[in-house]
Structure 1
Amino acid sequence: MTEQGQDEILELLWTLREARKASRSEVLRSATEPAPERLLEELVEGGMVDASGEEILLTKSGEDRARGIIRRHRLAEVLLQNLFDLDNAQMENSACQIEHILSEPVVESVCTFLGHPPACPHGRPIPRGECCDRIRTEIRPLVMRLTEASLGATVRIVFITPRSKKRLEKLSALGIVPGSRVRLLQRNPSFVLEIGQTTIAVDRDITDEIYVKPT
């Protein structure tokens, strides 16, 4: 349980660093694990973190371990919410359990299965793995960007990673939501999509944010 507790602290450090709040006081305030001070001491003793100042820093070994935890957790979130349609509470609870048990080969398989998603359902970046650099191999992911769909084929939207809430609202108003079926009719000069009885033209940066699977 100590190792799992350490993982939770490393995960917390990573997320607080993303928000530029990785101070000792914030870590101790935000930690949900029992005895966070002791867990932090163990990480210092293990060379995972540098807590000599108010800001707690990850060392090289701590960075590598935290990166793996974050990658597993956020990939699990994408899998659970978008493929199994779990609500946020179920997704978060299950992802926290899954992150501690996935081996690296399984993580790569999950990432490839999902089409190497760049972000979790909350919009936070998913650290890339070696499999992401092999995305254009002979193995075609089950889930792909709409940009890469075959012309004329009907596909189902699995998840969307919009750059802004405003864009997500605009896409929703057009009927571009997870579960919808679309056809890619044209790529140039713009991407033309057919959704039900409606045909719309969008830019590539939008189709790059829409992930689909064949029906």
Structure 2
Amino acid sequence: MKLSAELKAFEVRLGHEFFQPELLVRAVTHSSMSSPTRDDNQRLEFLGDRVLGLVMAEAVLEHDQAASEGQLAPRFNALVRKETCAEVAAEIDLGRVLKLGRSEMLSGGRRKQALLGDAMEAVIAAVYRDAGFEIAKNTVLRLWGDRVKTVKADARDAKTALQEWAQARALPPPEYIQIARSGPDHAPQFTIEARLKSGEHQSASAGSKRQAEQAAAQALLSSLN
């Protein structure tokens, strides 16, 4: 298989030339473009998540050999979460080469955080399948750059931080309730309310439930603080 000029340019940005170019094509193919003759990137995403996890687990252990498990876990979570994957994807302009269906194209899919994060994991798996773990590891560490060194010791996403806040006060975990959905199917907007058993609550809206939940959790944390 011969790659397009855009995908060849992406290989340069990624820093890996594929021996099996069909793996890269599959990694950048969203499910909205799948067909009986065209595989999408969902299975690669599943694998890439695990490869990334192992690379980052080793990296945080090596960087701080005196840290406890309780200190390492939030750093690890911050490095592997979808938001971080999406940041890295944006840095190498992964969105430009994604193969998307018409509805995703019209809804700005090339810039969607969740979609970019998933595709980044799929690309990691493609590198792993193409050249093995060591090459995949080196690729990930190069792309993540100084993040391993600069991630904060108390780095946590908002939902985790809110749950820990509740647990420290003997409260059950927060609830996340969808209170509204608007917009067309190809570009929905979700409004989620984060609610504590003690009565405090805040809501936020975003283009995915995951993002709306995080935003609502952050809003509630801010009001509590």
TM-score (norm. length: structure 1): 0.26
Structure with a larger share of its residues in strand: 1
Structure with a larger share of its residues in helix: 2
Higher relative contact order (CA 8 A, sep 6+): 2
TM-score (norm. length: structure 2): 0.25
